Structure 1
Amino acid sequence: MLGLVILSAAIAAPAGAQSKLQEVLGRGKLIVGTGSTNPPWHFKDEKGELVGYDIDIAKVIAKGLFNDETKIEFVTQASDARIPNITTGKVDITCQFMTVTAARAQQVAFTIPYYREGVGLLLLKGGKYADYEALKAAGGKVTISVLQNVYAETMVHKALPEAKVDQYDSVDLIYQALNSGRADAAATDASSLRWFIKQNPGRYQDSGYGWEPQTYSCAVRQGDPDWINFVNIALREALTGVEFDTYKASFEKWFGETPPAPKIGFPSELR
């Protein structure tokens, strides 16, 4: 629930210790760890500037701090640096499509979620199979292209138990297999699927089924309740409150769909 502050390791800071919130305000800019090669999350545009959904989420936090989303410094980092750069203080926060797990929550404190990822099935519009139900009904006649991974076949078979699974060593190749007819659908991250559909209007469609859910949150250093509380408020008010229009525009831009508007009246996240 969005209203719940996630305090996975909210150990009180030592008496007299300065909160990260005061440190960032005093510095005058927010330092954010993120990636640079994974659209629609974080990548460089034609001007060489970092853009994407993770980047917009970070800007929401910067705006909450300084009423100025440009007061931010991005530190590009590999995925395996996301936790070390938090724990060593190299960055104030990591916003880099980071999956929440109990094991990771022993090392960092996670914010409220800002996206729920999963696996989806990309179809050609007007193709042989109209949706997930048609794929499932076809059983073993269906071929699914997927990025090569030790778990890829098991993952696909959770949704389509009888399907043939063809694995490829790049995302481009799984799309090429679909385009050429070698595959009837491509299994990929739901966010990538939505981004790809938006980039190719009228050519592809979502099967309408998703599975393998995982939560994406930003991460901060443990032991600083003031800092995580501030970040959670900034994110909550983007998802459900005064900054919703900014959040909505970002979600539409990167995923091609409109998030549900917050209902006026009783805060539904408290139910």
Structure 2
Amino acid sequence: MGAMAAACVLALVFALALTCVGTPAGGTAGTTGRPVTHAAAARADEECTDPEKQTLSPSRADGETIEAIKNRRGEKRKLIVGVDQNSYRWGYRNPNSGESGRLEGFDIDLVHRIAEDILGDADAVQFKAIPTDQRIPAIQDGRVDMVVRTMTINCARMEEVAFSAPYFRTGQQVLAPKSSPVEGYDGTLANRRICTAAGSTAYAKLEEDKKAGALPESTDIRTTVPNQLDCLVRLQLGEVDAVVTDAALAASQAAQDPTVRLKGEAFTTEYYGVAMKKDADDLVRRVNQILVDFREDTEDGWQSSYDTWLSATLGGDSSKSEPPAPVYARKD
């Protein structure tokens, strides 16, 4: 077990007490963390196509939502953002940063960019660590202005929140011990225990494929945890046989523990977006403009952040991770 992996175990040993097995009663845990009926999920899929395109055109204009953020006074004049603090190189507390575990990573760079544009101060941010299954409730309850947390844009989630244009491309992949007979997302998962994060697209995909017969019937997908990194701990403790998560996150977890590796190829294509309240149109437009600027900035933008945080785990060629050219198909 690597040094970083050992640190993860120590940091999360108490968090394991919070993990759950199974799904919420009455629905699926595959979208928001709140129960979503299969009928509602099916309706969303029928009515929605190309969810990554269903966003508003960019604008630099301030509106009601942005004005409310700017009107906060004193120490409260900050952008409140839901992030992860356990995803290595995405949003994590670096114990070696010399600043009491300052949050770092690709998502964190993007948050600072948004804060600088809206409030004129890259550090005018109140970070809130949000578990995977609480991302949408945190937005809907007004606990955060937005969530920037490796959050996949999909149809079911668009029923409950608004998304920016995509800022990263990824896909689901299997992570397992190097010595494991598991070879990828295939028949080698038969009689294996799989861990996913509650409320994740990974769990939704596993559940869908198992019902459709595309996944071996004997595959056990009941183990879900509040935070994705908890799955790595479960794998290290021998409580599960494999993890299914976004390839970008899986690569970071493999970097934390050299005894595990990605198995097979990514078997979906997904896009990360910034999530906000459904009626926060001005904020959605502003974030989309910031993303345009972030991609075009050749000195301190998207590519620079990729090189700093992700090239070591995803490779120097960023082309597979670059989001598609944005399409702004959503109307007011």
Deviation at 1:189, TM superposition (A): 0.7
TM-superposed CA distance for 1:45, in Å, is: 3.4
Which of 235, 255, 259 does residue 174 from structure 1 map onto?
Answer: 235
Question: Match for residue 14 of structure 2?
Answer: none
Residue 195 of structure 2: which of 137, 147, 150 is its match? 147
Cα offsets for 1:156-194 (capped at 9, x unmatched): 79898559635667622334549xxx95xx232133321
Pick the aligned partner of 1:44 from 93, 101, 124. Answer: 93
Aligned in 2, Cα 1:101/1:270: closer, same or farther, shift over 3 Å?
Answer: closer
Q: How has the CA–CA distance of structure 1 residues 209 and 143 changed in structure 2, closer, same or farther, with 3 Å as cutoff? A: farther
* Map of 2:275 onto structure 1: 219
- Which one of 55, 58, 61 corresponds to residue 6 of structure 1? 55
Distance in 2, matches of 1:141 and 1:65, equals 47
Contact 1:34 1:74 in 2 (8 A): yes
Corresponding position of 2:305 = 247
Structure 1 residue runs of 5 or longer lacking an equivalent are: 11-16
Is the 1:146–1:174 contact (alpha carbons within 8 Å) kept by the matching residues of 2?
A: no
Decide whether aligned partners of structure 1 residues 159 and 231 sit closer, same or farther in structure 2, where only a CA change above 3 A counts. farther
Residues 45 and 161 of structure 1, relative CA distance in 2, 3 Å threshold: same
Post-superposition shift, 1:57?
Answer: 2.4
2:288 aligned residue: 232
What are the superposed Cα offsets for residues 96-133 of structure 1, whole Å, 9 maximum, x if unpaired?
A: 333434343243321112334543123555x576964x
Aligned counterpart for 1:194 among listed residues 251, 261, 266: 251
TM-score (norm 1): 0.66
Cα displacement string for residues 54-86 of structure 1 (whole angstroms, at most 9, x for unaligned residues): 323212212333554212122344556544543
Give the secondary structure class of the aligned counterpart of 2:305. helix
Q: Distance in 1 between matches of 2:158 and 2:189?
A: 42
1:209 maps to which residue? 265
Tell me which structure has the larger Cα radius of gyration: 1
Q: Which amino acid aligns with 2:287?
A: V
Cα distance in 1 between the residues matched to 2:296 and 2:176: 32
Per-residue CA shift, 1:200-255, capped at 9, x if unaligned?
35x44323412244443212233444322211121233245441343323541684
Matched, 1:165 2:219: yes
Structure 1 runs of 4+ with >6 Å offset? 148-151, 156-160
CA contact (8 A) 1:37 1:43 kept: yes
Alpha-carbon spacing, 1:195–1:158, altered in 2? closer, same or farther (3 Å): farther
Map 1:74-113; keep pairs closer than 5 Å. 74-79=127-132, 81-87=134-140, 89-113=142-166
Q: Deviations over 1:131-162 (max 9, x none)?
A: 64xx85xx569764411788757657989855
TM-score, normalised by the number of residues in structure 2: 0.56
RMSD: 4.6
Go from structure 1 to structure 2 and tell me whether the alpha carbon gap of 1:227 and 1:192 turns closer, same or farther (over 3 Å shift): closer
- Cα distance in 1 for residues equivalent to 2:56 and 2:84: 29
Can you give the 5+ residue segments of structure 2 that lack an aligned partner in the other structure? Answer: 1-49, 225-229, 328-332
Shift of 1:95: 1.8
